[in-house]
Chain A
Amino acid sequence: MIDPAEVLHVARLSRLKLTDEETERMAGELSSILDHIAKISELDLEGVPPTSHVVEVEQGLRPDVPGPCLPRDVALAQAPAVQDGGFLVPSPQAG
């Protein structure tokens, strides 16, 4: 179970605005999904190591050779706002 207050907390962590209607609806939908997920709490997992990656990769590193990187104008070309060769964003301070 997850209540609307927890949904709002998680939404804040996710940098996601939710309307009141969305918060209520998500609380219901996420609760039923979490109920289904809770089935894994029934298993005995004592001593089982976690898997974060299924393919064993040893030192998957490429040679440390400098190569070309994206030109600045190309990197900036898709940005919603640009100024002085950088990404332009609103002030961190409101107002």
Chain B
Amino acid sequence: MDVSELLSLTAAQATAAIERGDLDAAELFAAYRSRAADDDLNAFTWVAEDLPEDLHSDAPLRGVPLAVKDLFCTEGVPSQAGSKILEGYLPPYTATSVRRLQDAGATLLGKTNQDEFAMGSSNENSAYGPVLNPWDRTRVPGGSSGGSAAAVAAGLAPWALGTDTGGSIRQPAALCGIVGLKPTYGTVSRYGMIAFASSLDQAGPFTRDVTDAALLYRHLTGTDPMDSTAVGHPEEIVLPTAERLDGVRLGVPAELSTGEGVEPGVLAAFEASLETARSLGATIETCHLPTAALGLSAYYVLAPAEASSNLSRYDGVRYGLRTPADDLVSMYTDTRHDGFGDEVKRRILIGTYALSSGYYDAYYGRAQKVRTLIAREFASVFQNVDFVVTPTSPTVAFKLGSLTADPLAMYLNDFFTVPMSLAGIPAISIPCGLSEGLPVGLQLAGAAFSENRILDAAHALERALAFDGSPPRTREAA
């Protein structure tokens, strides 16, 4: 098998080829390692130097390389969460999710760049520089898991692990033209995932196709003695086979589909994909999620509130950066001033404000109630439809620097993805077409623990949409 052929395999195809003896796991790793080491998108913050001694080519994932977002602790390997405050940090243990995948045979290829502490929608908030979108290097890859998305889209990794708090898997997957799954909250352990907003954070796969997403998620989900919120999955995750959508009811939320700021080209690709779904036998109906449009407002209370607490651990005492000072409190305040970027500071301040005396009920208390309403509305909608469908992001990948001066405009990127996060339900983004030559993502969300159904429906749609996931440059190079 020549190198370009080998790099064109999906992870599932590669595992099958290794199992058959047609492909050597070490050769596959070497090919990707060389691609990742030559990364000119700034997608990687660390790349494995050598083939690990413990290449598990007899385990289910057959030693296939895996890129991992820098937010995951990996023992002895830099884990900096895109932050200067964790520069050079070498964790003493590996996150359960990464460990599970390694136990299943995945090989750590590298750590991927991200927005600092997963706060951002463009990857421009990384202390290690922005990531470039492989479809157009003047544009962002989305965020916060921008490095994982760009690496998979550019063929620098067969698949990658990311995290999604308000859209950080789905939005970059959409902007890079690949598949991203945010699982049901609690189905993947958060132990060793550097915390942003603990009631929302969830790990999930970035892959070239839906089958790979199912394969990675199958090995990712599980309970964990180290995370009391990790409930595992009640079903075995199976590889999707559906080719039709007969009898499948898709709901288009009236309140979300008319959201302001949705680009016409995105709407056109979305509507065309609904036509495709109809041709496969699905019915499309309008549904109502009246509070979902306020999801963003509630999210920007809840997530910063949790972050302000979670990030109090960065104080220059036990790990990471320390700015020397004469007294203890000055050491804390100076270290945090020097170590955190602007977006992280904004969120710490918003969160602390929302939790402070006199404001708690008006902000945090109300936001928690809005969350209840949104979760109830989804539960009610799923009585009548199987999936809620929306565009994943209101826009295609935007120009680097175009939104950095306006934090609120940046937040609006998450308009379609935040409601599902608040409800804790699973959602997938699959590429559904191009607008202005750039990928558009289609989001399918289902009831809690409906991953098998979501993956099946996404598989049928993926087949019919036949999206060519290789960015033009990659195509020319091949």
Interface residues of A, Cβ cutoff 8 Å to B:
2, 6-7, 10-11, 13-18, 22, 26, 29-30, 32-34, 36-41, 43, 45, 48-55, 57, 60-62, 70, 74-75, 77-81, 87, 89-95
Q: Do A17 and B333 touch across chains, with their CB atoms under 8 A apart?
A: yes
- 16 extra A-B contacts, CB within 8 A, seeds A54-B422, A54-B448: A11-B349, A14-B349, A16-B333, A17-B330, A26-B349, A30-B346, A30-B350, A37-B297, A50-B365, A55-B186, A60-B231, A70-B93, A78-B320, A89-B317, A90-B328, A95-B327
Q: How many residues of B are in contact with the other chain, CB < 8 A?
A: 72
Q: Is B3 positioned at the interface, with any CB of A under 8 Å from its CB?
A: no
**CB-defined A-B contacts under 8 Å, sample of 26:** A11-B349, A13-B352, A15-B315, A15-B332, A15-B333, A16-B336, A16-B337, A16-B349, A17-B333, A17-B337, A33-B408, A37-B301, A37-B350, A41-B366, A43-B291, A48-B369, A50-B369, A54-B186, A55-B184, A57-B231, A78-B92, A79-B319, A91-B327, A92-B327, A93-B327, A94-B326
User: Closest CB-CB distance, A84 to chain B, in whole Å?
Assistant: 15
Q: Is B340 positioned at the interface, with any CB of A under 8 Å from its CB?
A: yes
Interface residues of B, Cβ cutoff 8 Å to A:
89-90, 92-93, 184-186, 199, 225-226, 228-229, 231, 291, 294, 296-298, 300-301, 308, 312, 315-322, 324-334, 336-337, 340, 345-346, 348-350, 352-354, 356, 362-363, 365-373, 375, 407-408, 411, 422-424, 448
Q: Do B350 and A17 touch across chains, with their CB atoms under 8 A apart?
A: no
Q: Do A39 and B297 touch across chains, with their CB atoms under 8 A apart?
A: yes
In the bound complex, residues from chain A placing their C-beta under 8 Å from that of B297 are 36-40
In the bound complex, residues from chain A placing their C-beta under 8 Å from that of B354 are 37
Bound together, the chains give a CA A32 to CA B327 distance in angstroms of 35
Contact of B229 among A38, A60, A79, A90 (CB under 8 A): A60
In the bound complex, residues from chain A placing their C-beta under 8 Å from that of B229 are 53, 55, 57, 60
Mostly helix, strand, loop or mixed at chain B's interface? helix
User: Closest CB-CB distance, A33 to chain B, in whole Å?
Assistant: 6
> 5 tightest A-B contacts by CB?
A54-B424, A60-B228, A50-B368, A80-B322, A62-B225
In the bound complex, residues from chain B placing their C-beta under 8 Å from that of A79 are 317-319
Bound together, the chains give a CA A77 to CA B367 distance in angstroms of 40
Bound together, the chains give a CA A11 to CA B328 distance in angstroms of 16
Q: Do B349 and A54 touch across chains, with their CB atoms under 8 A apart?
A: no
Q: Do A40 and B367 touch across chains, with their CB atoms under 8 A apart?
A: yes
In the bound complex, residues from chain B placing their C-beta under 8 Å from that of A41 are 362, 366
Q: Do A26 and B346 touch across chains, with their CB atoms under 8 A apart?
A: yes
User: Closest CB-CB distance, B367 to chain A, in whole Å?
Assistant: 6
Contact of B199 among A16, A48, A53 (CB under 8 A): A53
In the bound complex, residues from chain B placing their C-beta under 8 Å from that of A6 are 353
CB-based nearest B residue for A87: B317
Bound together, the chains give a CA A36 to CA B415 distance in angstroms of 13
Contact of A16 among B225, B301, B345, B422 (CB under 8 A): B345
In the bound complex, residues from chain A placing their C-beta under 8 Å from that of B225 are 62
Q: Do B336 and A15 touch across chains, with their CB atoms under 8 A apart?
A: yes
Contact of B353 among A10, A32, A75 (CB under 8 A): A10
Bound together, the chains give a CA A29 to CA B345 distance in angstroms of 11
